[in-house]
Chains A and B, each alone.
Chain A
């Protein structure tokens, strides 16, 4: 291929990438530009694309109860992710190394808990939480999200552990290392990309949850997605705050994903094909 032809193909590719990006990102970009507009401008038709931006929506958002809701989201998503990993990763390791007859039945039983839609569990959770006083608490949300994320962790982590050659562990054991040391210092570092990818999925599930937060919280443990809906008032929707809240809700996921992106791609693909 000659130089000009190659350059033209590359330009076409860039245009295609640019157009695809714009199409994919347009909902987010639209939301973002709305968040810098006043309510008057947001409802103006045709919508003005050039305007004087204002930070008023963000400022009033942080003066409202949204800040506390944001904190609740952050806590419930982080703690539930940590707890699911803490319990799920050793469980996945144990299952991957277990050669007993009940292995497949047990794995399937763990997955069954993810097969019913969340709505099926909502009312029992609501009644039980009300009975034990966990309604409207971050602890309650953490437990719900953990219970839903645990099967995901166990199922996602098993293939990663299966890619680690057992001979490595046997060598370490022969050298006198305990099972705990083998697990923590040899196996875990080797599946770090898998843990990162799993953590992101767990975090996303908890962070984006609306339904459980809507039913199981009131005002104390209200999470950010529910708080955003709270700007849809009977007397009118606060469009600017909804847009600013929506943009802010996306931020932690974006930051978290960027922070672990090095592991993310390899993590999402590595476990797919066993070595």
Chain B
């Protein structure tokens, strides 16, 4: 027993983390708040059909943060925008699947019902706060608007609530800022105001699409710290979309890795970083220089991110994969469950069971 413990400590790095992780998970209810099944969002254009989201399934539990990570064109933004039907149609088209939120299929409800969900039960934080805030209205007006609309507040109540929300997102002098126009705020402040806006109706689900990508490192740290803090306070589920693995490691409970419109791996944040299974996940983690290690050359995934209108057959990653077999070029692999939470879509990983966590860094 003693021996085993030691071994675990060696491979895991911090044995304490395992137990913290399990307790935090069990503390949350495992009822899915949102369930996306076989979603297909395609774009039709002259040059062919772009399968931006191609048969994607995932779920978000209550109070959980799901991180979606992937490179440009992997479909991470389109899948999240599909949840609120924000994809412009045409050229976009929802070709199939279900998006179940509180028992309702978001793809079939009427536009009126959808408006009741947007900004109310599900809210969105965009990457560029300047373009998502209306420049001609005061911050307070924009915050109040949704509260008057969805929560039936009077103008005065909403204004007071706006000040409270700005304070909640740690904006200094909220009484002054509430009367400012967006251009008077810095990038970091605007993103906080956006977060305040998204919290205005106490949403059940918050979708944050690259919310810190446009920000400087020290400002990003402020916003991430704020979001982590709010997570505990508001108990909403969060879908956090980013290309930055570091941010994913900081923010999420569970991670979904996407590549060329497909989900390739999904697992708890620990498993993704300590025991990645899909060759793409491994490559992605290894190709980023890590602050804590130093080596002479970076690991490289050969080739380039594919153009989605000419997606490779079978597993779309096969032209860049070092474990490619004949099968990979023909058929997309079925789900392989490495553990209860750890699912991977890869022919090479079939039959792979949890072999204990280890760093795959080389």
Q: Do A and B come from one complex?
A: no
A residues lining the B interface (CB < 8 Å):
none
